[in-house]
Structure 1
Amino acid sequence: MILRRRRAGALAGALTAGLVLAACGSTADTGAGATGAGGIKTDKGVTDTTITLGIMGDTSGVFKNLGGAINAGNQLWANEVNAAGGICNRQIKIEIVDHGYKADTAKTLYPQLEPKVLGMVQLLGSPVLAALKQNLQSDNLTAAPASWSSEILNNPNIMMIGTTYDLEIVNGLAYFQQQGLIKDGDQIGHIYIDGEYGGNGLKGSKAYAAAHGLKINEAKITSTDNDLTNIVTGMKGAGVKAIVLTTTPGQTASVMAANKALALNVPVLGNNPTFDPALLQSPAKDALGNLFVSASSAPFSSKTPKAQQVAAEYKKAYPNGPLNGGVPVGFVEGKVWEAVLKQACQNKDLSRAGVQTALTQLKSVKTDDLVAELDYSSPGSPPTRGVYIGKVDPAAEGGITEVAPLFTSPEAKAYKAPYQK
């Protein structure tokens, strides 16, 4: 069964449905603890011809453009693997559900998806991940989260791809100080969504502030708050020299518009979820020039050879699809799963327990610099601490130009994550 290329107009709909990326064959599991083709131990989600992975993503909620691009990146990886013969003589099959960034919806969809899959190639959203934490542990289901909070690293079923929100902010502030945009003793603002995503970013700001004598003007918001002008007004009155965001793209637009309208004009630091290229078509488009993005994955416009290859394949398959950093994120999620599955195959154990064992055996996963080298041998620790720094640029594909290549600041190296041993 050959995957048909969807035109961009059908992208969101196509990525919310289950998508078969493999040759047709039996979809029945070999059986719990059974031995299948090649003498491989299997349980759920694996047959003699297929390995089925799941996606619980967002193609209809507040991160729908990012979520759709991540889904597509996952899909492009599966295409590449299947064209090369699959893994362990099995083709990759992906089942997709859309929770719309709603935890209650995810709780309803999870029981429908869980029995079909070996693991999750993508599980998007901190609130969704929090709602499903116990389910993942009870079902021994390994998931690559499109959520990068260091607070989830105490869950052995989490396969973090890249660094964490707190370390993205630590590195971003270090870049600001290296560039002379802030200095020791300054006051900075941090606007953050109440919850794991926003709170974990704030943890990074506090860690950097403690090391450099910075004062933080905090502002906690909800994911549905739209007009943040009053918050920015207060920060201007407090004399902030920079603003940090762990917000939705729409909230970023509000902050940037106020930053310009109030003539505050300070540099603003966000991480990957805070920016969507669609903002370049919004009323805030002329106010985005001071926005920097710190992310562990390469921006869509990166000159890294693998990032350029993935971008070209994406544009060919989805000529009108959203161009954003979700595409390389989704592809690299797949690459890490590929490393895990190959190790599990070598161990002759493609069961869920076998996947967990294989993950902890990986000390050096290289992804052609889509993210920094990953080490999963120390549970509780971020698998990497490096980031790319980008700046909003309307002329760049995806709206972000890389201004600092992959790097890890001294402060990030010294940072102790919550569950690091």
Structure 2
Amino acid sequence: DNKYNPQVHKEVYEQIKGNVLALAQTLGSPTTAAILPDLKASNIVAAPASWTSAWAFEDVIIESGANYCIESMNTLDYAVDKYKTKSVMAVHYAGDYGDDAAAGAKIGAEKLGLTFSHLKTDAGADKQAGAIAEIVTKKPDLVILTTGPTETATIVGGAAARGFTGRFIGTSPTWNPGLNASPAAAALAALYEQSAPWNSWTTNSAGHEAMRKALPSVTPNEGYTSGWVWSYPLKAALQKAAANKDLTRAGLLAAVRSLESVDYEGMLPAGAGNFKAGAPGQVKVTAFYKPDKAGATGVAQVKDLTVGPTASAYKLDGPCYSKL
């Protein structure tokens, strides 16, 4: 357990690194950043449980799904098309999770001619008064949230209680099925949607079906979906390294660098996982969901995986959060 603490993450990594070929999962972006120098020095390939755009520029990191920056651009295209959005506010944690999404919203707003503002907020339900006040005062058409579920419920519920009627769209970590039973449930049902880098638990794809078959007795949870998706690049790299008869750390990294695609069994589009191409090979699709108490994971799809024109045209030339 890394306790989502970069120092703890580094300590437990040091305890196991001598016994592993690769890391099947490293949870969080600031935590993974804490071990990144050693991953690179040791040629240890790692699959991140995070979506910062910084990973597009690190060979040892085998990320899956659109990064937060691209996801925000897709959110803006979706909102402009569906809600005729003209102004957007990003409310977000500090750091490369929140800042990456906010930077994507800023870049996208500039391209689309939208009014943009952003506000950093701290974690904790008791620390959202400033965010709620800013939203209610500025009245943006759209608020892009990059927080946790607790803050999402507090912000959406609090803003709605004060008469705010704009839209909220939160990145995937803003949602938890328990929010459907929270005091903010009615406000969330009326005002909130979730953006996501892949489709949910019940989706009809070969990968989703294999996942559900492997987990017949669990309560459906998108953590399982994400964990399953994140495993495909490492599987592909291991198969390639084995075929090359070089299951060393250097051999596995060489296999990663040679991958032009990864078979995600339909959980991501064909062509995803082009690690050979580097940043230009990044997948850019996003899906959108709304709260639904009848849904297996508390949500229902409102738009399938798609890439909007803003993200499609954007050339990733460095981590987005540096442009906020």
TM-score, normalised by the number of residues in structure 2: 0.92
Deviation at 1:166, TM superposition (A): 0.5
What is the match of residue 120 of structure 1?
23
What is the match of residue 293 of structure 1?
194
Q: Is it true that 1:326 corresponds to 2:223 in the alignment?
A: yes
What is the match of residue 258 of structure 1?
158
Aligned equivalent of 2:207, options 306, 315, 325: 306
Q: Is it true that 1:415 corresponds to 2:314 in the alignment?
A: yes
- The gaps in structure 1 that reach 5 residues or longer are 1-97
Distance 1:383 1:266 in 2: 31
- What amino acid does structure 2 have at the position aligned with 1:388? A
Secondary structure of the structure 1 residue equivalent to 2:303: strand
What is the match of residue 142 of structure 1?
45
Deviation at 1:188, TM superposition (A): 1.4
Deviation at 1:308, TM superposition (A): 4.2
Deviation at 1:106, TM superposition (A): 0.7
What is the match of residue 212 of structure 1?
112
Aligned residue runs from structure 1 range 79-228, under 5 A: 98-179=1-82, 181-183=83-85, 186-224=86-124, 226-228=126-128
Cα–Cα, structure 1 residues 381 and 326, in superposed 2: closer, same or farther, change >3 Å?
A: farther
Deviation at 1:324, TM superposition (A): 2.8
Deviation at 1:174, TM superposition (A): 1.0
Q: Is it true that 1:267 corresponds to 2:158 in the alignment?
A: no
How many equivalent residue pairs? 316
> Deviations for 1:253-274, whole angstroms, at most 9, x for unmatched residues?
1111123212212211111111
- What amino acid does structure 1 have at the position aligned with 2:192? L
Distance 2:97 2:213 in 1: 31
Percent pairwise identity: 28
What is the match of residue 243 of structure 2?
346
Secondary structure of the structure 1 residue equivalent to 2:97: helix
What is the match of residue 402 of structure 1?
301
Q: Is it true that 1:389 corresponds to 2:288 in the alignment?
A: yes
Distance 2:130 2:193 in 1: 22
Distance 1:137 1:364 in 2: 22
TM-score, normalised by the number of residues in structure 1: 0.71
- The gaps in structure 2 that reach 5 residues or longer are 320-324
Distance 1:208 1:118 in 2: 39
Distance 1:272 1:102 in 2: 20
Secondary structure of the structure 1 residue equivalent to 2:265: coil
> Deviations for 1:116-144, whole angstroms, at most 9, x for unmatched residues?
21111111111101211112112211111
The answer to whether the 8 A contact 1:189-1:243 is kept is yes
The answer to whether the 8 A contact 1:136-1:157 is kept is yes
The answer to whether the 8 A contact 2:76-2:109 is kept is no
Q: CA RMSD in A?
A: 1.8
Deviation at 1:301, TM superposition (A): 3.2
What is the match of residue 279 of structure 2?
380
Q: Quick check: which has more Rg, 1 or 2? A: 1
> Deviations for 1:25-63, whole angstroms, at most 9, x for unmatched residues?
xxxxxxxxxxxxxxxxxxxxxxxxxxxxxxxxxxxxxxx
Deviation at 1:409, TM superposition (A): 1.1
Aligned residue runs from structure 1 range 59-98, under 5 A: 98=1
Distance 1:189 1:312 in 2: 41
Deviation at 1:312, TM superposition (A): 5.0
What is the match of residue 358 of structure 1?
255
The answer to whether the 8 A contact 2:29-2:52 is kept is yes
